[in-house]
Amino acid sequence: MKKALVALSAASALAILVPGTAEAAFTLKVIDNADDCGDINSVAFDGTNIHLAWVCNTASGDVVKYAKGTPGGTSFPKEIISDVTTTGTKFTSVASNGGLVFEVNGSIRYARPVAAGTGDCPDNDAWSCELVGSGHDPQISVGPSNVYITYHNDSGSVIMAKRSGIATYTFTTVFTGSSGVSGRFPLIDASDTTAGVWIGYEHDVSSGFASEVSMWSPTEGTESATGLSHYILHGMSVNHGLHQPQVVSGNKLYVRASDGSWSSSTYATSATSIGDVDDYGGYQVITRGGTNGLIATKKGIFGGWTDVLVDGAIDSGFSSLVVNQSNGAYYISYYDQTNQQLKLARGS
C-alpha cells in the first residue's frame, strides 16, 4: 500500500491554475531529507498543530520518526520514537492528540508523549510505549473520550479494534472481524462524534484483486455495532463513513457509503497510485501520485471532479491527507521520489 529524500529547504509556494477553476495555492515544506525516509507516512491536525509520523528504512534497521509544527510555522523538529536493529517496522499512523501507533516485528505499540525522563520507549524517554497486540498494518484515531486502534491480528487472520481512554492507556477489544479474513489495510475514524466510529478493511475473496470491504459503525464509547459490506477493488480510505478510491479497468472510481447505500463516480482515467481521501464542507478531496506528480482531486456536491497539481515531482510513495473542517484547509504528507524527500503540502 506504500513504500515510499537533499538539503532542507524553506517552505515554497506553488500556484497552479487549472482550466475552468480558480487559482489553487499549495505551500510545500520538506520535513525529512534523510536517506530512505518517508515513503510510509501519516499526518493529523488538532486545530493548532500538525502531527506527522513516518518510517525510515536504514541499513541497520527501521526507524519511526515524529514531528510537530504549526500550519504557518517553519520549524518541525524531528524525534526518534523507535530505532530497531531489524527491518521490522512496516507501518505507522498518527492521531490528532499526537499519539501514534507503529508495528515492530509483529508487535503493535501505541506511543504517546509524556514528560521528558518519565517515558518507557526504549529510544526516547519523552514518550511512553504501550503494547496493544500482535499483528500488522495498524491505524489510529481519537474520539472525544477514547483512543481507537485497529490492525490485522495474525492469530486467526482477523481484523481487531481496541479502545482505551485517552488518559488510561489500557486497551480492550471492542471489535473482532470474521475469522479467516486476510484483512489488509484496516482503517478507522472516530473523529466525528455524531457518526460514531467507522472501520473499513479488505476482506479477500478468490477473484484476483477483488475484495469485500466491510464497515462497522458503533456509537463512540460502546461495543454495539452494525455492519455493511460491499465488493470493490483494492484501495480505500475511511472518514465519517466509508469512502473508497478504487481502480476498475484503469479508471479511478470514488465510492461512498451513506445510510447503507453506495454511490460512485469516475474521477480519473489514468491508473496512477491511490492516495488518501477526506471530505469537508460539501467537498471531497482525493490524492494520488504518479509520473505527473502528486495531484489533489476535488469534487463539490453538485460539481464534477477538478484536478489540482500539488507537486510536479514524481511521487511513488504513500500519501496521507487530513482536512481541517474549520477553515477548509487540507494537509498532505507524501514522499517525493524524484528528490527523495518527505514533504508536507497545505492547500485549500
| Predicted confidence (pLDDT) per residue in 185-212, tens digit | 677 888 766 667 777 766 554 333 334 5
Is position 320 within any domain?
A: yes
Q: Is residue 306 part of a domain?
A: yes
Give a yes or no: residue 210 inside a domain: no
46 located within any domain? no
Dump pLDDT digits (tens) for 310-335: 898 888 777 888 877 777 788 999 99
Indicate if the pLDDT at residue 119 is higher than 80. Answer: yes
Residue 251 inside a domain? The answer is: yes
* pLDDT-derived band at 285, boundaries 50, 70, 90: confident
d(Cα 252, Cα 226) in Å, to the nearest integer? Answer: 28
Specify whether the CB–CB gap between 187 and 200 falls below 8 A. Answer: yes
Residue at 169 is within a domain: no
Number of domains within the chain: 1
Q: Where in the sequence is the domain holding 343, given as residue range(s)?
A: 1-33+247-348
CA distance 333 to 328: 17
Task: Kindly report the backbone phi and psi dihedral angles of residue 203, in degrees, each rounded to the nearest multiple of 5, phi listed first.
Answer: -125, 100
78: in domain: no
65 is a domain residue: no
Residue 109 and residue 122: Cα distance in Å, rounded? 12
What percent of the chain is modeled with pLDDT above 70? 63
- Listed in sequence order, the residues at least 6 apart from 139 whose beta carbon sits closer than 8 Å to its beta carbon are 93, 101, 149, 150, 151, 186, 187, 188
pTM recorded for the entire structure = 0.81
Under the banding of pLDDT at 50, 70 and 90, the label for residue 28 is: very high
